[in-house]
Amino acid sequence: MRAPRSALPVVVALVLGACASNDGGADGPATDDEAGSAAFVTTTTTDPDAATTTTADSATSATDTTPTDTTVAPIGTRPTSSSTSTSTSTTTVPTDDRTVGNPVVTSEIVGEFDQPIDLAVRPGDNALYVVNQTGTIVRHDETQTAVVAELGSLVSGGGEQGLLGLAFHPTQDLAYVNYTDRGGDTIIAEYGVDAVGRFAAESRLVLTVDQPYRNHNAGELMFGPDGMLYIPLGDGGSANDPERRAQDPRSLLGSMLRIDPTSTGDAAYTIPADNPFAGGEFEGIAGAPEVWAWGLRNPWKIAFDPVTDELWIADVGQNEFEEVNVVAPAGGNPAGRGLDFGWSALEGAERFNDDIAVSDRNTLPVLTYRHGNDGCSISGGVPYRGTAIPELAPAYVYSDFCSGILWALDLAGQRNLTLLTGFDSVSAVRAGPDGELYVLERSGTVHRLIAG
Domains of the chain by start residue, with CATH = 76-385+421-451 (2.120.10.30)
| Strand positions, DSSP E, 262-316 | 291-294, 299-304, 311-315
Q: Is the dihedral of CA 276, 312, 41, 48 positive or negative?
A: positive
Q: How many helices (H) and strands (E) does the chain have?
A: 0, 29
List, edge to edge, every strand of the sheet that includes 174-180: 163-168, 174-180, 186-193, 199-209
pLDDT in tens, the chain (452 residues): 333 323 222 222 222 233 333 333 222 223 344 333 443 432 222 233 333 333 344 443 332 333 346 777 644 344 332 233 322 233 344 468 899 999 999 999 999 999 999 999 999 999 999 999 999 999 999 999 999 999 999 999 889 999 999 999 999 999 999 999 999 999 999 999 999 999 999 999 999 999 999 999 998 999 999 999 999 999 999 999 999 999 999 999 999 999 999 999 999 999 999 999 999 999 999 999 999 999 999 999 999 999 999 999 999 999 999 999 999 999 999 999 999 999 999 999 999 999 999 999 999 999 999 999 999 999 999 999 999 999 999 999 999 999 999 999 999 999 999 999 999 999 999 999 999 999 999 999 999 999 99
Specify the 3-state DSSP secondary structure of 301: strand
Specify the 3-state DSSP secondary structure of 390: helix
DSSP 394-422: T-EEEEETTT--EEEEETTTTEEEEEEB-
Q: How many CB atoms lie within 10 A of CB 154?
A: 16
Query: What pLDDT does residue 73 have?
Result: 60
The size of the chain, in residues, is 452
Q: Give the Cα separation of 239 and 242 in Å (integer).
A: 7
Q: Which residues is 156 bridged to in the sheet? A: none
Query: 414 — alpha (psi -120 to 50), left (phi > 0) or beta?
Result: left
DSSP 95-150: ---PPP----EEEEEEEE-SSEEEEE--TT--SEEEEETTSEEEEE-SS-EEEEEE
pTM: 0.85
Of 245, 262, 258, residue with least CA distance to 290: 258
User: Do 334 and 224 touch, CB atoms closer than 8 A?
Assistant: yes
Identity of the residue numbered 80: T
User: Do 395 and 409 touch, CB atoms closer than 8 A?
Assistant: yes
Specify the 3-state DSSP secondary structure of 186: strand
Residue 404 C-beta-side C-alpha neighbours within 13 Å = 23
Phi, psi of 247 (to 5 degrees): -100, 15
Q: Is the dihedral of CA 250, 251, 257, 262 positive or negative?
A: positive
Please tell me what DSSP assigns to residue 245.
Answer: G
Q: Which residues contact 284 (CB under 8 A, 6 or more apart)?
A: none
